[in-house]
Structure formats: structure tokens, C-alpha cells
Amino acid sequence: MTDRASIFIDGEAGTTGLGIRERLLAVPGVALRSLPEADRKNPEARRAIMGEVDLVVLCLPDAAARESAALVASLGARAPRLVDASTAHRVDPAWVYGFPELEPGQAARIAAAPRVANPGCYPTGAIALLRPLVDAGLIAPGHPVSINAVSGYSGGGKALIAEHESGAAPVFELYALGLEHKHLPEIQVYAGLSHRPIFAPAVGHYRQGMLVSIPLHLDTLPGRPTAAALHEALAARYDGQALVRVLPPTGDGKLEPQALNDTDLLELRVYANEAHRQAVLVARLDNLGKGASGAAVQCIGLMLGLTPRQPAREAAHA
């Protein structure tokens, strides 16, 4: 590798691609390569530039991401390393899942991987909450899990962004009520669940910011744990992690989704009513940060040995 790592973002004009590009411009030791707009859909031009760089980031719809991955594979020994921000390869065993905090050793696996699948925004929150508790035996793999979430509209693609910014969209909307959301497979696999969870996402009329919540009846869990035991298990898993913070519940019992906007942070909390033996696990993140572009740049940094990008700003934990 040269002194400056060369990176090509295939699909750099989209929301995630623009976010990755902006972040990489602030990282020392990176040289970004681009194609003229007229060549961005030309397979030969894309294949040529892919053969000249150290790493390619795919910010494309699933089918196009598979086609680009095939272009890279066709380069043989000249193939660059890959980070795919689409859903196409997230549960493919030939790809490493790009959540460095998933479990001990995951960051090292990402650093050594030729192909990394960037996590989805909703799965980042859900898996971060569930996986440590499953690993600790506090949630059984077969437990019937329900996940509720709300995101800003920027995570929904160009059509949804245009609908909200034109004033045509509702203030709040549940969606994917057919229970076939494309993030479900990765949530089940990487949370360590043996049964498919119920996932009910929603979109709000604000640009970015996300809450993911998981309600629990404590007496249905192995050993009937307290909320403090859940908090301690989460805190132990993420101890020393720069971007994941396990915090006490807010004093007023409220949590809004936008406090981490423009950062790459992820906050986890356990809210509970011990008298009723009920709890709600809550993750807060920027769906464009740790939920998309920030996560990709974190993986790129590991893969290329770059200085990690620090969170854009500290957020008030209120």
C-alpha cells in the first residue's frame, strides 16, 4: 500500500456515499478517486478505476452492489478490498460483518477482511442491545423478541426524502407492516436469535436521528434478571469502546432521537419498572452516522490502518 490509501466510492452521489466522502476528506492519509459523471454507470470505466485503488466502497442498491462486487472479483490479484453499504452481502458468510463492537475479535476480523458488509442502521441498535444479553445468557436465543424503532426520513432514500422535504409526507408513519423488512435477516443472525423477531419500524418528519427499543418482561427471561443485571452485561461488553456508551436511564423517562445527530456515537440504556418486572432496552444513534456512513468509515479505518475519526461533537445525554 502507498503512503496514501486510495479509495473509490461507487455511488458517491447518494446520501450514504456523500456522508462517507465528507468523513474521509477529514482523515489523513486518504486519496479519494472519482469518475466523471458520464462514466459512473460505465462498467469498463468503473472496473478500470477499481483496479487502481486500495479499497472500493459500494453505496448502491442491492442488485447494483452485487454487479460491482463481481466487477471487483473479475480483477483477480489486482482486486481492491471492499466495503458494501447495501443489504446485499450482510448475511453472506464470505463477507465479514462490519460492526467492530459485535464481539471480542470482530474489529481484528474486519481489519484483515477482503470484503466487509456495513451494518444497517436499525440492526446496529438492535444487535448492540441484544447480542451481549444473549451471549450472557440473560436472553434465550429462542425468546420471542419484538423491536420497535423510529428513524428520520434521510434513511429512506431519495423518494422518501423528496416526499418529506416537499411537505407531502405524514408527520409519523409505521411501515413494513407485512413483517418482511430487509434488515430482519441480519438482526436475527448477528443478535444470536434462533427465531425471527417481530420488527415494527417507523419514520418521523425530521431529517436524521434514530431510536430502537425492545420491551421485555423480566420474569420471562432466564434467571429472572433485574434491570441492573441487563445494564451491567451491556456495560461489560462495551467497556473501553470509543463509540458505544452504556448510560443510565434519563431521569424524566423520556428520550428524543436527534441528540446524536452529526456524531458516530451509539448510546444504550435500560429503562425499567421493577415493581412490574418490565424493562425497555433503548438504543439511540444517528442513522447517517453509526447507522451508515460513520460505520463504514470506522471499518475503512480498521482495514487500511488509518487514524480513527473522532465523533463530530459531544452530545448532551438528556
Chain position carrying cell 441492573: 228
pLDDT of 262-287, one tens digit each?
999 999 999 999 999 999 999 999 99
Q: How many residues does the chain have?
A: 318
pLDDT given for residue 309 in this prediction: 54
Q: What confidence score (pLDDT) does residue 3 get?
A: 74
Q: Which CATH architecture has domain 5-119+292-304?
A: 3-Layer(aba) Sandwich (3.40)
Q: What is the DSSP code (8-state) at residue 170?
A: -
Strands in the chain per DSSP E = 5-10, 30-33, 55-58, 81-84, 96-97, 115-117, 146-152, 172-174, 198-204, 210-217, 244-246, 266-273, 278-285
pLDDT < 70 stretches in the chain: 1-2, 307-318
CATH code of domain 121-287: 3.30.360.10
CA trace torsion 67, 25, 298, 235 (10° rounding): -150
- DSSP 8-state secondary structure symbol assigned to residue 206: S
Which grid coordinates belong to 177? 407492516
What tens digit of pLDDT does each residue of 214-261 get? 999 999 999 999 999 999 999 999 999 999 999 999 999 999 999 999
Domain with CATH 3.40.50.720 in the chain: 5-119+292-304
Residue of 67, 61, 80 lying closest to 11 (CA atoms): 61
Residues of the chain with CATH 3.30.360.10: 121-287
Query: What whole-number distance in Å separates Cα of residue 66 and Cα of residue 36?
Result: 22
Looking up cell 432466564 gives 222
What are the backbone angles phi and psi of residue 282, rounded to the nearest 5°? -135, 130
Q: Among all chains, which residue has been given the C-alpha cell 436511564?
A: 249
C-alpha span between 290 and 23 (Å, rounded): 12
194 — alpha (psi -120 to 50), left (phi > 0) or beta? alpha
Per-residue confidence (pLDDT) for residue 100, from 0 to 100: 98
The predicted structure's pLDDT at residue 154: 92
Over residues 136-149, the pLDDT tens digits come to 999 999 999 999 99
pLDDT of residue 199: 98
DSSP 249: P
H/E run at residue 229: helix 227-238
Please return the burial class of 88, using the count of CB atoms within 10 Å of its CB with bins 0-12, 13-18 and 19+. buried
Active-site positions read 121
